[in-house]
Amino acid sequence: MLQVAVVSGKGGTGKTVVTGAIAARFSGSVVMADCDVDASNLALLMMPDIIQTEPFYGLNRAVIDPKKCVLCGVCADNCRFNAISVSEKRVDVNQVHCEGCGVCEFICLAKAVKLVPYICGEVRSGNTRFGPFIDGKLNPGNGNSGLMVHTIRKKAREISPDIPLVLIDGPPGIGCPLISTVTGCDIVLLVTEPSSSGRHDLERLVTVCKSMRCRLVMVINRADLVPDGTHDLRVFAKEESIPILCEIPVDPMVVQATRAGVPFSLSDSPATRMIQNVVEFIQNELKEE
């Protein structure tokens, strides 16, 4: 099973649109996993029929038994996350601020604190016309995005073990969800654009991915928008020994198809002809599996 993560240093580079275009060309041979758990949107393009929705449990949270609590306030004094408030009549734990560290449970002599499982989102699975689909949504204000990415990837590998390709739509940035997304992937496909912010965030992304020994390839999206910027990206890629698989031009067909909620690679256009290079690269990798 080949695992390919599509990532970008910043949002708005067209990462999800590129992921969808690749997935559509591997119809019947791909599992899609949307690991952009803070803003998942691959479903808008791939239109899955969701078959199963499961609760996602993050770290445990503290709850206080008012019958046992003697209102001493020691737990609040020792909570480093300021998650506990004490009044004359009760002690409350803010479930969003609680990190489940367990200090309050350890320190409470009245044994009034318990750590309990806490639902902080959901993981969904279903089918698209191209193959199985998994994504996840964290409830607002909840962390544990790295843990959710891990859960989604595990499910993607298990849901159809005979399918040779897992294609992951990764999160933007270089934080915990990105690290969880690229860890153990066979190929990391960097989607970038010729803007100064795109270049800056790409550099940070490459630094992180290289520190994790990821195998990197690159796609430059909207490559004809800023020719000088694209030239700089080519120089950067050469210096970093990252192959550029294709340069996708600005193409009205991409906008039209995306607005219609379909992958652009289902129609013939300049962008589709460029994506074919990525498809052939992955096909060759699959042959060597």
- Select 112 or 202, whichever has its Cβ closest to ligand SF4: 112
d(CA 136, CA 114): 28
Output phi, psi for 224, to 5 deg.
Answer: -90, 5
Q: Is 209 near ligand SF4 (CB under 6 A)?
A: no
d(CA 138, CA 122): 7
Tokens coding 256: 């039209």
d(CA 126, CA 115): 32
The only residue of 110, 187, 253, 266 in contact with ligand SF4, by rule CB under 6 A: 110
Residues in the chain: 289
Q: Is 120 near ligand SF4 (CB under 6 A)?
A: no
The only residue of 20, 48, 100, 173 in contact with ligand SF4, by rule CB under 6 A: 100
The only residue of 102, 117, 252, 261 in contact with ligand SF4, by rule CB under 6 A: 102
| Alpha helix (H) residue ranges in 36-144 | 42-46, 74-78, 103-107
The only residue of 62, 191, 202, 282 in contact with ligand SF4, by rule CB under 6 A: 62
User: Segment near ligand SF4 (CB under 6 A), from 95-103, 167-175, 193-201, 252-260?
Assistant: 95-103
Cβ atoms within 10 Å, residue 28: 8
Q: Is 188 near ligand SF4 (CB under 6 A)?
A: no
**Residues making contact with ligand SF4 (CB under 6 A):** 62, 64, 69-75, 79, 81, 83-84, 91, 93, 98-104, 108, 110, 112-113
